[in-house]
Structure 1
Amino acid sequence: MQVVAVCGPTASGKSGVADEISGLLSETCGLWVTTVVVDSMQVYRELPEITNQTRDRPAELVGIVPVTHEWTVAEHRRRARRVIEGSGAPAAVLDAGTGMYLNATVLDIPLAPKVPQELRRRAELAAVGAENPRREARRIELKLYGAPERGSIWEGDLLYDLTLIYLRPERTVLDLAIDRRSERIVRRGIPEALELRRLLEAGAPVNPSVLGSIGVRELLAYLRGELSLEEAREKICVRTRHLARRQMRWFDKLSRILSGRAGVTVIRSPREALSRARDIIGA
């Protein structure tokens, strides 16, 4: 089965490219070609503006669970593969911003088990001060749980006939797009932050990953009077830039590893991607 994965950092324009390619493939095969969003935050239905869920074409795995749900890479892999393989079309398109989720979807790789909350809290405390606290906490919690060593998350067999389109804009172009994205989150995301605050005040067990995510943390701080709106916007912008750099490091590595095993194309802009789309995907 043909799978076209459009990946890249946040604000790179990959969702628009994924929608266009889904349309091209649908036109070619005469069937609806599904777009599957591969993103750890767009699954939450209460955050359409903060997580940028708006798009031109319907997609799967967007806005499907409440913020009280703890979404995992294993659950995303299971649901994504079910959609891809059950669509009835000979192709599918992935709109991928979360690197680990993309690896897990297209490669046959081992995943670490989910550990109890008590062990997770102990690991988080033990990881305070580490260079990468989140990664160190994950290592410690797996050790406490007694999980066996995982194999490589990069070397699994490809599960599909994969074409990877990697949108990698120039840094200055991407930073300007992130500035615009941050401004939009601040303008449109306050109602969603107010709803989250209402849930918290009602005692709802909102997923900690949601509360710490970009946009949510800053807008909640604004509502508590800890930040001005401009300070919230600036913090969202800075954190988004850091996220984009991490995403690019991941996709840089993935594109190198897949070279020779899949069709890999690195492109600087959505316009270039769309002008070359038919040639790249063979439509």
Structure 2
Amino acid sequence: MSEHRGTNDPRKMAIVGATGVGKTAISIEIAHARPKVALLSCDSMAIYRYMDIGTAKPSADELGGIHYGLIDLVDPDEEFSIAQFRQASNWYLGQLSRDEIALFVGGSGLYHTAVFDNLEIPPNNPTVRAFLEEQALERGLAPLWADLVRLDPVASSRIDPNNSRRIIRALEVIEITGRRFSEFGGGVDAYPLSSGEIVGIETDLLKARIDLAYRIDRLIDYGWIEEARWLKENFDLSRTALHAIGYLELFRYIDGALSLEEAKEATLTRTLQFAKRQRSWFGRDPRIVWFREIKEAQKYILDQIDTL
């Protein structure tokens, strides 16, 4: 367990860490054990309706009557921003009684920052964004990525080189404001006193690879391919929804461009890359209390709840 740095808002807690480490399962057990806990998702893809299996949302049976907030907020053909998530999370927090405690669960770093830190939301300019999108189509994404590395190396270290939406957004903000994208919200390496207890769950890389490969097989057994086929037939997924790992790979399998094994391997590769970025994002935050054992993390959180 790492050092506990202290917090200033007992009504909020969070469980963070890389994808697949067991955050959701432990949170459900905690909510059953302590009825005053209100579970809230902190996952940028779980906000989409109908994308249930691939985003590993807990089923009604798994929840066992527990309400899980901040999921299923918009349809898959709609854009969704960090500002919208912060607004939605503030609304949920406003509905809590004085005795309830919000437990945020998920590995989306910026969403977590929006909830727990005073995140400054940068402005937007549709004209600038449209120009950058046109440049990406004409020149490819690589030159824009090179621009971002040159203009804001800190932001580029936190963004997937293949994530066109985030690269374009960062360059848009730089163009509009003349400031580095990474400076907003106090900067990506600024860690003010947290507004709630933050607990992290970590695992070793070999175990993570084995667990994530098994997880992909399990999700396919649960009907992920059928879910992807239905989405493909009924929605044109938005730019933000298209970043949900695994769906594009399954779309290509459905179209005959990939074999199932190729789609699974591509999904695993992207998932491992995402998990690496999550470990980097949360690993730099000195406020997080880290555990390698799930049961130890669970006991620590329950003890913290009991003191409130």
Q: Which TM-score bucket, shorter chain as reference?
A: 0.7 to 0.9
How far off is 1:23 after superposition? Answer: 3.4
Q: Is the 8 A contact 2:55 2:244 kept in 1?
A: no
Corresponding residue to 2:134 among 104, 122, 126: 122
Please give the secondary structure, in 2, of the residue aligned with 1:92: strand
The structure 2 residue matched to 1:46, chosen from 33, 50, 53, is: 50
Deviation at 1:182, TM superposition (A): 1.2
Q: Which residue of 1 aligns with 2:177?
A: 147
Alignment TM-score, normalising by the size of structure 1: 0.84
Are the counterparts in 2 of residues 186 and 229 from structure 1 also a CA contact under 8 Å? no
Alignment of 1:1-283 (within 5 A): 1-2=9-10, 3-26=12-35, 32-54=36-58, 55-56=62-63, 57-90=66-99, 91-116=101-126, 118-122=130-134, 124-125=136-137, 128-129=141-142, 130=145, 132=161, 134=163, 135-144=166-175, 146-147=176-177, 149=179, 150=184, 151-155=186-190, 157-158=192-193, 160=195, 162-187=196-221, 188-199=223-234, 204-254=235-285, 256=286, 258=287, 264-283=288-307
Cα distance in 2 for residues equivalent to 1:251 and 1:95? 13
SS of match in other structure, 1:108 = coil
- If asked which structure has higher relative contact order (CA below 8 Å, sep 6+), I would say 2
Task: Give the Cα separation in 1 of the matches to 2:194 and 2:205.
Answer: 32
Identity of aligned residues (%): 24
SS in 1 for 2:14: strand
Helix, strand or coil at the partner of 1:166: strand
- Equivalent position amino acid for 1:195 in 2: W
Range that drifts further, 230-239 or 207-216: 207-216
The answer to whether the 8 Å contact 1:193/1:220 transfers is yes
Report which stretch shifted further, 113-122 or 168-177. Answer: 113-122
Runs of 5+ unmatched residues, structure 2: 1-8, 147-160
Q: Tell me: CA distance 1:23–1:124, structure 2 relative to 1, closer, same or farther (3 Å).
A: farther
SS in 2 for 1:34: strand
Is the 1:103–1:153 Cα contact (8 Å) retained in structure 2? Answer: no
Partner secondary structure for residue 208 of structure 1: coil
Give distance in 2, aligned partners of 1:72 and 1:213: 14
Q: Secondary structure at the match of 2:29?
A: helix
CA RMSD of aligned residues (A): 2.3
Give 1:22 shift. Answer: 2.8
Decide which moves more: 264-273 or 91-100.
Answer: 264-273
* Structure 1 CA distance for aligned equivalents of residues 256 and 169 of structure 2: 33
**1:157 to partner: Cα distance:** 4.8
Cα contact 1:43–1:61 (8 A) shared by 2: yes
Partner of 2:153: none
d(CA) in 2 for partners of 1:127 and 1:112? Answer: 25
Q: Distance in 1 between matches of 2:125 and 2:118?
A: 22
Q: Output the TM-score relative to the length of structure 2.
A: 0.78
